[in-house]
């Protein structure tokens, strides 16, 4: 984790000067390399020098920024190679050989630069295989063409230095077609790789990679079409120079697309402050989090705020393992000017490449973060109180179950044993003592029955043994009004079953006692991650929670488990009590 610091845009100052100097140097090199051709073609010279220098400037700017650093280095190398390509215009010495191999290096550098964007790595076996195959076809294929040809077959003079080994026109033409076909296949594979990458990229990256993929398709298709125009015809030096010219124009589409994408990224940084302020007015914890999600285009982003001794989420719940890092996630810490923890953003790891934009959004939202931290602290205190109430309900449910079991196992067993002892005394005693023993046995039987009822009231054994559905069937059978049940057979945690049981019993008792219902319906179901129970009757209606009444107690019990109770009771239209509890975690 690191603190947020204000950063100057990465393209101003020294990086821009270095990129401009590099572009000027490459343009000067292209001018010197192609001078014999430029003297007779000034318009072509202006276009090519602008493209070549622009290619180098774009590469230098990309290399200076965090997005596409290695792509920029590859483009800069490609621009230098393209300048050397024009040495063929001298048509003397080693210039033509340097020219054809520089052209191959140029296209390899472009392809590698495209695949390095934006992560800076050649990820995956297919990408690495494509890179190796492209280097072999472009450079190795050019070497084979040189070995099988004479300079004149490539548009150059016969006196130039040329690495011919076994010149053979038919073999040269076949090899030329084969190399050109392989280049077209590799170009198509490159486009497919870029398209297959799109679904796996983040939403923010996709804004920049889609235009790049389109530019690659246009640029590569145009360059190949021009290259294919030389097949099966007598080639002159002017033909070769024209092909270089048109290919350079098509190729320049690529750095322009990358440069436009990077400019969009810088523009997003500059507008982050305005967007954050607009999206967080009025300020709330949820609005700040949602604003960060929209500005950074990451729907999974989560915002944690520092409260006392740890991070809490937007609901005030303590974040477990706040200092750890989950796979594929990036945790970015925000600190106050005094260096104290303020907040942390848990985002998709792919946003790491856009750290300046993340910083800009967090700086813009800094004041809002300071404000909502107080809200988060209050929510954290409320959440701790709720946790305490929830733990208390669980303890009460467990204690009820323990006490009911203890009554049945211990006290009732003793009463039964004492009853058996009196029965034995009754048989052995005289008439008067026998009558007294009978009276004692009746009293013991009544006490045992009362104790059994008390145990069922504390926590019925059937609820523990067979679950909510079985316990409610027993309650329905004893109800004064007919009850229709729609209950699942599944089991819930003890605190859920206990709370639902007593809440449903209370609602049933109210319906039977006060509503004058002819029929009561009870249903329990799982719904959207919650447990929902409903008690409907066709009685008089007009029910409501009275302080100290049954519905009020029912509501308190349910709220202790983070649930809620809704009562719909219009007069003369019956009553519906709806109990909602969060599903077991």
Residue 367 has a pLDDT of: 65
What was the pLDDT predicted at 350?
A: 78
The larger pLDDT score, comparing residue 232 to residue 261, is at 261
Confidence band of 60 (pLDDT split at 50, 70, 90): confident
Question: Three-state DSSP class for 177?
Answer: helix
Is residue 140 scored above 90 in pLDDT?
yes
Q: What is the mean pLDDT of residues 430-437?
A: 64
How many other C-beta atoms lie within 10 A of the C-beta of residue 234? Answer: 9
pLDDT at 456: 47
Based on its alpha-carbon atoms, the radius of gyration of the chain, rounded to whole angstroms, reads 41
Q: Helices 42-64 & 237-279, crossing angle to 10 degrees?
A: 40
pLDDT given for residue 320 in this prediction: 65
Cα–Cα distance measured from residue 17 to residue 4, given in angstroms and rounded to the nearest whole number: 27
Residue 424 has pLDDT above 50, yes or no: yes
Q: How confident is the model at residue 375 (pLDDT cuts 50, 70, 90)?
A: low
**Res. 455 pLDDT band, cuts 50 70 90:** very low
Confidence tier at 449 by pLDDT (50, 70, 90): low
583 or 86: which leads in pLDDT: 86
The pLDDT of 78-104, averaged and rounded, is 92
171-180, 422-431, 454-463: which range is least confident on average?
454-463
Predicted local distance difference test score (pLDDT) of residue 7? 46
**pLDDT of 3 higher than 50:** no
Mean pLDDT value across residues 529-538: 87
Mean pLDDT score, 293-313: 79
Tens of pLDDT, residues 202-246: 676 666 677 777 777 777 777 666 766 656 557 788 888 887 888
What integer pLDDT is reported at residue 229 of this predicted model?
A: 61
DSSP 349: G
Alpha helices in 341-460 (DSSP H): 355-364, 366-406, 412-428, 431-458
361 exposure class (CB count in 10 Å sphere: 0-12, 13-18, 19+): buried
Query: pTM of this prediction?
Result: 0.57
Instruction: Enumerate domains of the chain plus CATH numbers.
Output: 17-268 (1.20.1070), 285-385 (no CATH), 460-582 (3.30.565.10)
Query: Is 530 in contact with 566 (CB distance < 8 Å)?
Result: no
- What confidence score (pLDDT) does residue 564 get? 84
Q: Is the pLDDT of residue 133 over 90?
A: yes
pLDDT(474) > 50:
yes
The segment with the largest mean pLDDT, out of 92-106, 270-284, 547-561, is 92-106
Mean pLDDT of the region 183-192: 86
> Long-range contacts made by residues 559-563, C-beta under 8 angstroms, separation at least 24?
559/389, 560/389, 560/390, 560/392, 560/393, 560/499, 561/390, 561/393, 561/495, 561/496, 561/499, 562/386, 562/390, 563/499
* Mean pLDDT of the chain, nearest integer: 76
Contact predicate 19/64, CB 8 Å: yes
- pLDDT band, very low/low/confident/very high, at 281 (cuts 50, 70, 90): low
Of 71-75, 265-269, 298-302, 409-413, the least confident: 409-413
Consecutive H or E run containing 20: helix 14-33
Task: Please indicate whether residue 542 or residue 151 has the higher confidence score (pLDDT).
Answer: 151
Contact between 301 and 347 under an 8 Å Cβ cutoff? The reply is yes
CB count in 10 Å sphere of residue 202 = 20
Band of pLDDT at residue 9, cut at 50, 70 and 90: very low
High-pLDDT (> 70) share of the chain, %: 68
- At residue 384 the predicted structure's pLDDT band, cuts being 50, 70 and 90, is low
pLDDT tens readout for residues 488-520: 888 888 778 878 887 888 888 777 777 677 788
State the average pLDDT over residues 256-263. Answer: 72
pLDDT of residue 47: 84
Q: What is the dihedral of CA 62, 65, 68, 73, to 10 degrees?
A: 50
Would you state the pLDDT for residue 500?
83
Residue 561 is predicted with a pLDDT of 72
């Amino acid at each position: 984790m690191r603190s947020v610091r204000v950063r100057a845009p990465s393209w101003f100052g020294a990086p821009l000067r270095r990129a401009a100097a590099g572009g000027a140097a490459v343009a000067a090199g292209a001018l010197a390399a192609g001078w014999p051709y430029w003297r007779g073609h000034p318009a072509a010279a202006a276009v090519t020098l602008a493209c070549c220098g622009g290619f180098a400037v774009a590469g230098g700017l990309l290399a200076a920024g965090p997005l596409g650093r290695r792509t920029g280095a590859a483009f800069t190398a490609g621009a230098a190679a393209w300048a050397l390509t024009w040495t063929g215009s001298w048509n003397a010495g080693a210039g033509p050989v340097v020219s054809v191999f520089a052209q191959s290096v140029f296209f390899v550098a472009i392809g590698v630069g495209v695949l390095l964007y934006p992560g800076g790595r050649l990820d995956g076996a297919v990408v690495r295989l494509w890179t190796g195959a492209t280097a072999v076809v472009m450079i190795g294929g050019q070497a084979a063409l040189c070995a099988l040809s004479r300079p004149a077959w490539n548009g150059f003079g016969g006196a130039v230095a040329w690495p011919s080994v076994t010149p053979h026109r038919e073999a040269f033409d076949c090899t030329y077609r084969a190399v050109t076909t392989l280049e077209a296949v590799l170009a198509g594979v490159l486009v497919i790789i870029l398209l297959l990458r799109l679904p796996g990229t983040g939403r923010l990256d996709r804004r920049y990679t889609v235009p790049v993929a389109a530019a690659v398709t246009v640029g590569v298709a145009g360059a190949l079409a021009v290259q294919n125009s030389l097949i099966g015809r007598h080639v002159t030096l002017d033909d070769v120079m024209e092909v270089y010219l048109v290919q350079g124009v098509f190729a320049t589409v690529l750095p322009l697309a990358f440069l436009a994408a990077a400019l969009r990224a810088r523009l997003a940084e500059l507008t982050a402050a305005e967007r954050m302020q607009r999206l967080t007015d009025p300020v709330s914890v949820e609005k700040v989090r949602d604003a960060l999600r929209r500005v950074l285009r990451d729907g999974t982003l989560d915002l944690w705020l520092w409260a006392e001794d740890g991070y809490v989420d937007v609901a005030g719940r303590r974040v477990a393992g706040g200092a750890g890092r989950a796979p594929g996630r990036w945790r970015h810490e925000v600190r106050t000017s005094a260096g104290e923890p303020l907040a942390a953003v848990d985002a998709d790891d792919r946003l790491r490449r856009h750290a300046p934009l993340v910083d800009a959004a967090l700086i813009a939202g800094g004041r809002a973060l300071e404000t909502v931290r107080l809200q988060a602290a209050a929510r954290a205190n409320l959440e701790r109180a709720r946790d305490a109430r929830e733990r208390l309900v669980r303890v009460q449910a467990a204690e009820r179950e323990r006490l009911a079991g203890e009554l049945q196992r211990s006290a009732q067993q003793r009463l039964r044993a004492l009853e058996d002892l009196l029965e034995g005394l009754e048989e052995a005693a005289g008439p008067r003592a026998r009558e007294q023993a009978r009276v004692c046995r009746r009293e013991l039987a009544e006490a045992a029955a009362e104790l059994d009822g008390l145990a069922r009231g504390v926590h019925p054994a059937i609820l523990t043994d067979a679950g909510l559905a079985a316990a409610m069937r027993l309650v329905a059978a004893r109800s004064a009004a007919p009850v229709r049940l729609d209950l699942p057979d599944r089991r819930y945690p003890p605190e859920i079953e206990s709370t639902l049981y007593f809440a449903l019993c209370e609602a049933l008792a109210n319906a039977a006692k006060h509503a004058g219902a002819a029929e009561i319906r009870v249903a329990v179901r799982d719904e959207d991650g919650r447990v929902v129970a409903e008690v409907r009757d066709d009685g008089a209606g007009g029910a409501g929670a009275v302080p100290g009444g049954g519905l009020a107690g029912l509501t308190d019990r349910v709220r202790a488990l983070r649930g809620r109770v809704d009562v719909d009771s219009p007069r003369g239209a019956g009553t519906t009590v709806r109990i909602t509890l969060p599903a077991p975690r």
